[in-house]
Structure 1
Amino acid sequence: MNTPLPVTQLPVQVWAISATVQCGFPSPAEDHTQKRLDLNELLIHQPDATFFMRVRGPSMRDAGIDDGDYVVIDRSLEAKHGNVVLAVIDGEFTIKRLFRRAGRVKLQAANPTFTDIEFRDGQELIVWGVVTWTLKGLLPA
């Protein structure tokens, strides 16, 4: 079982351009200013409750979470219906979308080849945290 990695606060800052970019047709050039973007401020709201974990498997691909990505998990957030969560079932971690309606609770994959996880009597679901970000590389490993 993989264990989530705790976040260590490091002064990680990168340049950010104060403009958006089109992924379709290019927009005319504008006068863009630059500022420093602190990745800790962007990704981490509760440092003591935030963890990173590497994803394995394709069950959440349609939610934009792919094999090899890292997810940012915030344990301080209350999990709500529709959130993507890190859950513990029978001692194993899994990332799925939480379904909680009309007294029913299940975990849903974001890939039609995977079935929902429904719970039997005596089986325990522990929602360990809420996934807040996905970090992915675009270059081949």
Structure 2
Amino acid sequence: MPVFSGNTPGTSSRSQAMSDGDAASGFPSPSRDYFDGRIDLNRHLIRDITSTYVVRVAGESMTGTGISDGDELIVDRSLTPRDGSVVVAVLNGELIVRRLRLTGRGIVLAAENPDYEDISVSDPAELSVWGVVTRCLHHV
């Protein structure tokens, strides 16, 4: 599922040039005026389009990682979740976003906000990881 493709209505090629690539913090390069390509966010944000989806966050449990209520997460189902990965998972029928921790005592879904408690997974059969979060699209 493409996230974005092509030109945004009302944008000029100059504003596209200023949006594509790295942002310089000094004086703008005159060579940027000659950019004539298209912005393809799929190419920049998605590794495997066939196994990637976008999910909107509801809640504040992950604010410590910069994930806020209303943000959209790009999630890749083809990646293997590892210790420390931020994952989208289903536990006891509830869809949640947490940091996966594999400890000697088992699996923990860790919140990144001190106001929320970590979730110890007592039965791994009750946990289904739907993918690894690769990007957070934060509204400004």
Give the match's secondary structure for 1:48: helix
SS of residue paired to 1:114: coil
> CA–CA distance in 2 between the matches of 1:18 and 1:49?
25
Q: Which amino acid aligns with 2:84?
A: G
Q: Is the 8 A contact 1:12 1:40 kept in 2?
A: no
Displacement of 1:69: 0.7
- Gap runs ≥5 in structure 1: 1-6
How does the TM-score come out when normalised to structure 1? 0.78
The 5 A counterparts of 1:1-141 are 7-8=1-2, 11-12=5-6, 15=16, 16-22=19-25, 27-33=26-32, 34=35, 35-102=37-104, 104-121=106-123, 124-138=126-140
The structure with more helix, counted as a fraction of residues: 2
1:90/1:123 contact within 8 Å kept:
no
Q: 1:18 to 1:49 in 2, by over 3 A?
A: closer
Does the 8 Å CA contact 2:5/2:40 hold for their aligned counterparts? Answer: yes
Q: Deviations over 1:83-112 (max 9, x none)?
A: 100010011100000001335210001101
Unpaired segments ≥5 residues, structure 2: 9-15
How much identity, in percent, do the aligned residues show?
36
Give, in whole Å, the separation in 2 of the partners of 1:21 and 1:73.
Answer: 29
Name the one with the larger strand percent.
1
TM-score for both structures, normalised by structure 2: 0.79
After superposition, what is the alpha-carbon deviation per residue over 1:21-47, rounded to whole angstroms, capped at 9, x for unaligned? Answer: 44xxxx344445245331011122212
Residues in 2 aligned to 1:58 and 1:39: alpha-carbon distance in whole angstroms? 26
Root-mean-square deviation over aligned CA pairs: 2.2
4+ residue segments displaced more than 4 Å? none
